[in-house]
């Protein structure tokens, strides 16, 4: 089939009926559910960009294997130029959503591509797992599918391993091993955008312990598979807010969900790991799925940080406070943060690593540095927006106030900005800023940036330990040469 259009993506959603629960009610029509409707349209716009001559050659390529045009996310990069082409896709799609949708289709398409291109790892354990992964990559590539993933266990007793939980199947595990597949029971989270995606891929972060065998699994399924429930978190918006009052949350809400598997059958050809602790623990480091998708996350994070920085600057300008040195200092800090992330991305691409089979990956150290810095830089950008906007962020009138003739003179007089900035323009900016920094939507974006790649404290610890293994800190030895007591020359 090759690349889909937005209309084909929407038709695909309409043709299925997954079991979606929202606010205690079963959703019978995902497309027309107000909470999902506008985000679906935003994703559809991304698919349409693949067919738009203005973007097509930047976001897609002609696949040598099938002769069809497919997303750049499905191409195994073999050169610096390939990495740059992939980066261009990430940037174009991130800009289309201002970096606010972190799990657009390119993210998991890159992840599955990395797994398939490193299928040698799975082949060590079971050649069938490797074949399944290669076939699945071709399937989602040729049908241009949109995936979600769920790789975290529910937050129950985190001091205990999966097999030590009070209920044997609180965490997702195999309840029955069959000749034609296996049956799973339990839950996984945090399936972002699950209600409006085509399929889910299940795998996990490293951390399985002996005894966790039944939970050490990886597989993929359509989201309308019988027995699979999608339990949505409380939405940050009701889908009925006006674009004027809520310019971001009304369009870019990324629904997260708990996936509950009630004795769900997984066919054999969709299984990638079956109850193998070692394979599950090594999947991340051996297949590049921590590094290749981090490229997408880094580009997306750059655009999101840049957007927040621009919002802060425009808010300051609208009320004439960016002439003050303290405000300039805060804004300058944000601009330098943006440039630091941009530089790290370019270094990661330029200093790429080549795997034995010819695949190239962006350098891991700068990408991991981005993962360590963004969870601090983005919250700082939000803090600067809140500081500059101050009480004005809480005092914006509604769209209804502007359209009421009796209040028009009031809104025009008391909400006007600096000279040249109308009341409507100033209020629009402040509503944009509040959506990003104060509303539940904005706070979810903040929490996402802190934890989307795992616990930032543990990541920094692992980064240091890995850095220490690779570096001998030899400059210290060089500086101490000739300074031992028996080497010191007296004059």
pLDDT at residue 28 tops 60 = yes
pLDDT at 469 (0 to 100): 87
pLDDT value, residue 332: 97
- Topology at the third CATH level for domain 292-470: Butyryl-CoA Dehydrogenase, subunit A; domain 3 (1.20.140)
Taking only the tens place, the pLDDT of each residue in 338-363 is 999 999 999 999 999 999 999 999 99
Of the two residues 237 and 387, the one the predictor is more confident about is 387
Mean pLDDT across the chain, nearest whole number?
Answer: 94
Give the integer Cα–Cα distance in Å for 363 and 346.
10
User: Tens digit of pLDDT for each residue in 183-202?
Assistant: 999 999 989 999 999 999 99
What is the reported pLDDT for 84? 97
Q: Judge whether residue 380 has pLDDT over 70.
A: yes
pLDDT of residue 290: 86
Strand 60-62 and strand 69-71: the pairing is antiparallel
Beta bridge partners of 220: 201
Do the beta carbons of residue 54 and residue 264 sit within 8 Å?
A: no
Range 284-307 average pLDDT: 94
pLDDT tens-digit profile of 72-99? Answer: 999 999 999 999 999 999 999 999 999 9
C-alpha–C-alpha distance, residues 402 and 481, integer Å: 74
- Answer yes or no: are the C-beta atoms of 453 and 463 closer than 8 Å: no
Listed residue (459, 448, 454) closest to 99, CA to CA: 448
Domain limits, the chain: 6-287, 292-470
Q: How many percent of the chain have pLDDT more than 70?
A: 99
Of 63-67, 115-119, 329-333, which range is least confident?
Answer: 63-67
Average pLDDT in the 56-83 region?
95
- By CB atoms closer than 10 A (0-12, 13-18, 19+), residue 132 is buried
Predicted confidence band of residue 111 (pLDDT cuts 50, 70, 90) = very high
Residue 456 — very low, low, confident or very high, per pLDDT cuts 50/70/90? confident
- Residue 160: per-residue pLDDT: 85
Average pLDDT rounded to a whole number, residues 16-38:
95
Mean pLDDT of 238-246: 88
Of residues 395, 418, 412, 430, the one with CA closest to residue 321: 418
pLDDT score of 491 more than 50: no
pLDDT class of 472 with cuts at 50, 70, 90 = confident
What is 6-287's CATH number? 2.40.110.10
The length of the chain is 491
d(CA 116, CA 131): 9
Q: What value does the mean pLDDT take over residues 241-249?
A: 91
* pLDDT band with cut points at 50, 70 and 90 for residue 490: low
- Average pLDDT of 419-437? 95
CA dihedral sign of residues 219, 223, 91, 301: negative
Rounded to whole angstroms, the Cα distance separating 130 from 111 reads 15
Confidence band, pLDDT 50/70/90 cuts, at residue 241: confident
What is the radius of gyration, based on Cα positions, of the chain?
25
The pLDDT confidence band at residue 489, using thresholds 50, 70 and 90, is: low
Whether 1 has a pLDDT exceeding 90, the answer reads no
Residues 129-156: what's their mean pLDDT? 95
Report pLDDT for 168.
86
3-class secondary structure for the chain?
A: CCCCCHHHHHHHHHCCCCEEEECCEEECCCCCCHHHHHHHHHHHHHHHHCCCCCCHHHHEEECCCCCCEEEHHHCCCCCHHHHHHHHHHHHHHHHHCCCCCCCCHHHHHHHHHHHHHCCHHHHCCCHHHHHHHHHHHHHHHHHCCCEEEECECCCCCCCCCHHHCCCCCCECEEEEEECCEEEEEEEEECCCCHHHCCEEEECCCCCCCCCCHHHCEEEEEECCCCCEEEEECCCCCCCCCCCCCCCCHHHHCCCCEEEEEEEEEEEHHHEEEECCHHHHHHHHHHHCCCCHHHHHHHHHHHHHHHHHHHHHHHHHHHCCCCCCHHHHHHHHHHHHHHHHHHHHHHHHHHCCEECCCCCEECCHHHHHHHHHHHHHHHHHHHHHHHHHHHHHHHCCCCHHHHHCCCCHHHHHHHCCCCCCCCHHHHHHHHHHHHHHHCCHHHHHHHHHHHHCCCCHHHHHHHHHHHHHHHCCCHHHHHHHCCCCCCCCCCC
pLDDT at 132 over 60: yes
Burial class (CB in 10 A: 0-12, 13-18, 19+), 129: buried
pLDDT of residue 249: 94
What's the pLDDT score for residue 460?
85
| Residue 415 pLDDT greater than 80, yes or no | yes
């Amino acid at each position: 089939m090759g690349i889909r259009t937005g209309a084909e993506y929407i038709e695909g959603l309409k043709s299925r009926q997954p079991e979606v629960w929202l606010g205690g009610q079963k959703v019978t029509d995902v497309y027309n559910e107000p909470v999902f409707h506008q985000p679906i349209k935003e994703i559809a716009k991304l698919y349409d960009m693949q067919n738009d001559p203005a973007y097509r050659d930047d976001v897609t390529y002609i696949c040598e294997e099938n002769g069809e045009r497919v997303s750049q996310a499905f191409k195994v990069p073999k050169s610096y130029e390939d990495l740059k082409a992939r980066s261009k896709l990430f940037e174009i799609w991130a800009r289309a959503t201002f970096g606010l949708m972190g799990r657009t289709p390119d993210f998991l398409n890159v992840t599955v591509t990395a797994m398939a291109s490193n299928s040698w790892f799975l082949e060590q354990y079971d050649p069938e797992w490797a074949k399944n992964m290669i076939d699945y990559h071709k399937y989602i590539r040729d049908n241009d599918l949109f995936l979600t993933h769920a790789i975290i266990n529910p937050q129950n007793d985190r001091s205990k391993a999966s097999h030590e939980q009070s209920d044997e199947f609180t965490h997702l595990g195999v309840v029955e091993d069959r000749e034609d597949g296996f049956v799973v029971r339990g839950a996984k989270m945090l399936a972002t955008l699950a209600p409006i995606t085509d399929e889910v891929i299940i795998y996990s972060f490293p951390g399985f312990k002996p005894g966790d065998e039944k939970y050490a699994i990886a597989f993929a399924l359509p989201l309308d598979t019988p027995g699979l429930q999608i339990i949505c978190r409380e939405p940050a918006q009701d889908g009925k807010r006006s674009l004027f009052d809520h310019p971001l949350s009304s369009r870019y809400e990324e629904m997260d969900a708990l996936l509950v598997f009630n004795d769900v059958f997984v066919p054999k050809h969709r299984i990638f790991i079956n109850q193998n602790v070692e394979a599950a623990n090594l999947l991340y480091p051996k297949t590049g799925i921590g590094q290749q998708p981090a490229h997408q996350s880094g580009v997306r994070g750059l655009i999101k940080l840049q957007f927040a920085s621009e919002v802060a600057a425009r808010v300051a300008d609208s009320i004439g406070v960016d002439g003050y040195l303290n405000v300039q200092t805060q804004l300058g800090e944000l601009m330098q943060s943006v440039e630091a992330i941009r530089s790290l991305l370019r270094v990661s691409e330029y200093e790429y690593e080549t795997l034995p089979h010819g695949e190239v990956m962006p350098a891991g150290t700068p990408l991991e540095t981005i993962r360590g810095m963004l969870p601090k830089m983005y919250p700082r950008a939000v803090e600067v927006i809140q500081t500059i906007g101050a009480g004005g962020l809480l005092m914006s009138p509604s769209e209804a106030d502007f359209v009421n003739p009796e209040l028009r003179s009031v809104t025009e007089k008391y909400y006007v900005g600096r000279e040249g900035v109308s009341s409507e323009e100033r209020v629009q900016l402040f509503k944009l800023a509040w959506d990003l920094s104060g509303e539940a939507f904005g706070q979810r974006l903040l929490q996402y940036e802190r934890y989307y790649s795992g616990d930032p404290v543990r990541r920094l610890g692992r980064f240091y330990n890995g850095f220490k293994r690779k570096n001998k800190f030899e400059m210290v030895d060089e500086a101490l040469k000739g300074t031992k007591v028996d080497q010191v020359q007296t004059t």
